[in-house]
Structure 1
Amino acid sequence: MPLLDVKNLTVEIDTGSVFVKALDKVSLTVETGEIRALVGESGSGKSLIVRAIIGAIPDHWIITADRLTWKGQNLLGMSNEQRRIIMRREIAVVFQDPTSSLDPSATLISQLEESIPEELLDKGMFWHRNKQRRQIAVGLMHKVGIKNHEACMQRYPHEIAADIAQKFMIAMALVSEPELLIADDPTRSMESTTKNQILRLLSGLNETRKLAILFVSHDLLAISSMAHTMTVLYCGQTVESGKVKHLHRRPLHPYTKALLDSAPSFQINLPPKSHLVALPGTIPTLKHLPIGCRLGPRCPNARKECVKVPEQKMVHQHSYSCHFPLHSPVDDDLENKQ
């Protein structure tokens, strides 16, 4: 049984005059010890999936799903208190913008110490517990790459660089020793050295603690270096999902291929000064969504059958939603077995 199981998740947003489906039957799973990447353009709904999982959807929005479970427990059927208990100890989240996620009126060290669960502290006098909190907090800061911890402990979020604030967010997420870490673009705006350090940290935690990670990003290089599986999202619909190496080698959906082709690092024989590959057009707005397959107006393989929503098809552990896949699923089946 997977840790996180999302099946046909749909989120409808109230625009004032009509409800629009920002997410339309999105499906993904995260197994114990798995790093799953969630990939897509900006505006494709990646962060909205994260908010649906953690229960941060406004009450006036409509959220439905065949399954939205954590270790077999129905998240949609839980009370807010039950959901908070799970988010407190078992699922941790690192958000895109660390500065807006931290409390602007509290110092960084006080926020980090406050996030340490009581269960992790030894029983004893309060001054012993306070000392232990400080030791745990300093150890976490060193683990996430904040070596000069004294220079930023008493600072407020607006007084530090964005990458240091992001490292504090990661430390606060790891302090409860969760089973699943949801990292929503955690390396955005980081320099390459710092980004590689964070990626190595997450990969190391996955290997040593079997920490499951849902890595939300559009950085294909970062994903290819650490993720085991990948789910590709376009305009609120999942278009393809499978092992990273299979999707890189033989994508079935035109959008997945376009994403990979847009990254020069994945094209071995790319001549110098070549034009970057890009699909024509732009991602549609929620109020003007195409009928059927949402990629249709931009898809180079679109035909009249694409006005119908394609069903999800599965070839072993490789799923896709396309009327006209780029390769024969039978051939892909044979390759996956090799």
Structure 2
Amino acid sequence: MSAILDVRNLSIEIETDNGPVRVLDRFNLQLAEGEIHTLVGESGSGKSLLAKAILGFINPRWKITADRLWWRHYDLLALNAAQRRIVTGRDMAMIFQDPSSYLDPNDKVGAQLRESIPSGELSGVYLKRRADRQTRAERLLHRVGIKDTADVMERYPHELSEGLAQKVSIAMAIAHNPKLLIADEPTTAMEPSTRGQIYRLLAKLSAGQGMSILMITQDLTAVIPESQRISLIYCGQLMETGPTEEVMQAPYHPYTDAMLSMSLSGQDIAPKTRLPTLSGAIPTLQHMPIGCRLGPRCPYARRACIDQPPLSKKQQVQFACHYPLHDGDEND
């Protein structure tokens, strides 16, 4: 299956007091049509920066380079700002971990939802277009699992539960039928039952309309069964990527293995048991390690790790490690 989003060796450099720092370091990501791809990494690993680079939410002070940043048949880096907005505005959408950052607290839900519906999809005179907007808004709420549409549309965002507010933000995001939906930690701090509802909803939307989803999370327990592929990122570097089931059952990279060990879902943990964790902490921008950036925290690190390892491939899994946990010496 060919990729509709193809990111090759994407780097982002920002200026600091100590000079430029490469916060995203030659990152690779491919996403097929209708695929759910999960991007996992600790806080500060560069996940949201990648999303912003794809969507074009770019700070003028960033220096962005890539061998390829293609969306369908568009070279995104070759487009000017106006062209980029047209393409991403038409084909892409994003939902955030905090619905309040997406919803206007001063307007009722119905008004915001109606406004998110593209005018080009409406026809007829003013009254007919207004009625059509209302009907489409109600249908959007139905699609995201909200039954009492009349009540919800008359509420302000602060009057909604967290789960309900996130469903409304998803309805607004899919109003123009995007081909790519980026979900940036959409269930952070939610109750498990609400989190499950949001995940099932996103999977249903992907299957129902062939929408690709890039699911961003820092928790491997949040990887939903419908996720076809998974990528792990640390300090802006790609650690491992491949089919979700293969990566999670037999990881090659020590970082993936550590993240799995820290995911305690379904395990019985005795009281006062020391939880598995990586030693140390994520380095600051001013003190990024050379070579493999996991090196100072990796239990398997050796002298060779001061050189950044190339991507190696074993079957359908790619990983960047000089000393993988299993045999994987077939280079990509």
For normalisation by structure 2, the TM-score amounts to 0.93
How large is the RMSD of aligned CA atoms in angstroms?
2.0
SS of alignment partner, residue 97 of structure 2: coil
C-alpha displacement at 1:150, in angstroms? 3.3
C-alpha displacement at 1:176, in angstroms? 0.9
Aligned counterparts of 2:309 and 2:174: Cα–Cα separation in 1: 39
Match in the other structure for 1:325? 324
Match in the other structure for 2:276? 277
C-alpha displacement at 1:157, in angstroms? 3.3
Match in the other structure for 1:336? none
C-alpha displacement at 1:208, in angstroms? 2.2
Residues 37-86 of structure 1 deviation map (CA, whole Å, 9 limit, x = unaligned)? 00011111111110111011111111111111101311111122222222
Match in the other structure for 2:93? 92
SS of alignment partner, residue 167 of structure 2: helix
Aligned counterparts of 1:224 and 1:145: Cα–Cα separation in 2: 18
Aligned counterparts of 1:88 and 1:224: Cα–Cα separation in 2: 27
Residues 206-247 of structure 1 deviation map (CA, whole Å, 9 limit, x = unaligned)? 222221111111232331422110000011111000011111
In structure 1, what residue type is equivalent to 2:293? Answer: R
- The answer to whether the 8 A contact 1:260-1:266 is kept is no
SS of alignment partner, residue 264 of structure 1: coil
Q: In the TM superposition, what are the counterparts of 1:38-117 in structure 2 within 5 Å?
A: 38-117=39-118
In structure 1, what residue type is equivalent to 2:284? Answer: T
Match in the other structure for 1:196? 196
Aligned counterparts of 2:315 and 2:184: Cα–Cα separation in 1: 28
Aligned counterparts of 2:54 and 2:299: Cα–Cα separation in 1: 33
Residues 72-129 of structure 1 deviation map (CA, whole Å, 9 limit, x = unaligned)? 31111112222222222211111222212233443322221111112332x2111111
For normalisation by structure 1, the TM-score amounts to 0.91
Match in the other structure for 2:8? 7
Match in the other structure for 2:119? 118
- The answer to whether the 8 A contact 2:219-2:263 is kept is no
- The answer to whether the 8 A contact 1:233-1:240 is kept is yes
In structure 2, what residue type is equivalent to 1:112? Answer: L
C-alpha displacement at 1:131, in angstroms? 0.9
SS of alignment partner, residue 223 of structure 2: helix
SS of alignment partner, residue 186 of structure 1: coil
Aligned counterparts of 1:16 and 1:154: Cα–Cα separation in 2: 49
Aligned counterparts of 1:200 and 1:312: Cα–Cα separation in 2: 33
Tell whether 2:290 aligns with 1:291. Answer: yes
C-alpha displacement at 1:196, in angstroms? 1.3
- The answer to whether the 8 A contact 2:199-2:224 is kept is no
Query: Measured at CA, do residues 112 and 321 of structure 1 come closer, stay the same or move farther in structure 2, by a change above 3 Å?
Result: same
C-alpha displacement at 1:254, in angstroms? 0.3
- Residue identity over aligned pairs, in percent, reads 46
SS of alignment partner, residue 92 of structure 1: strand
Per mean C-alpha deviation after superposition, the further-off stretch among 72-81 and 217-226 is 217-226
Match in the other structure for 2:238? 238
Per mean C-alpha deviation after superposition, the further-off stretch among 194-203 and 157-166 is 157-166
C-alpha displacement at 1:314, in angstroms? 1.9
Query: Measured at CA, do residues 193 and 324 of structure 1 come closer, stay the same or move farther in structure 2, by a change above 3 Å?
Result: same
SS of alignment partner, residue 226 of structure 1: coil
Aligned counterparts of 1:103 and 1:52: Cα–Cα separation in 2: 25
- The answer to whether the 8 A contact 1:163-1:189 is kept is no
- The answer to whether the 8 A contact 2:40-2:218 is kept is yes
Residues 294-326 of structure 1 deviation map (CA, whole Å, 9 limit, x = unaligned)? 000110000011111111112232100001001
- The answer to whether the 8 A contact 1:292-1:310 is kept is yes
- The answer to whether the 8 A contact 2:109-2:156 is kept is yes
Aligned length: 329
SS of alignment partner, residue 190 of structure 2: coil
Query: Measured at CA, do residues 49 and 3 of structure 1 come closer, stay the same or move farther in structure 2, by a change above 3 Å?
Result: same
Match in the other structure for 1:335? none
- The answer to whether the 8 A contact 2:163-2:198 is kept is no
For structure 2, the 5+ residue unaligned runs are none
In structure 2, what residue type is equivalent to 1:86? Answer: V
